[in-house]
Amino acid sequence: MRTGELISMREYLSTSYDPDCDYVDGVVVERNVGEFDHSRLHMVISAYFYERRKKWGIALFED
Encode the chain (63 residues) as per-residue pLDDT tens digits. 455 689 898 999 899 888 888 899 989 998 877 778 888 998 999 899 999 999 999 886 766
Task: Report yes or no: 30 and 19 within 8 Å, Cβ to Cβ.
Answer: yes
Judge contact between 29 and 21, C-beta under 8 A.
Answer: yes
Tell me how far apart the alpha carbons of residues 20 and 4 are, in angstroms, rounded to a whole number: 17
CB-based contacts of 61: which residues, under 8 Å, 6+ apart? none
Q: What is the pLDDT of residue 4?
A: 64
> Which pLDDT score is estimated for 60?
66
Backbone CA torsion sign across 17, 22, 23, 28: negative
pLDDT, residue 1, reads 47
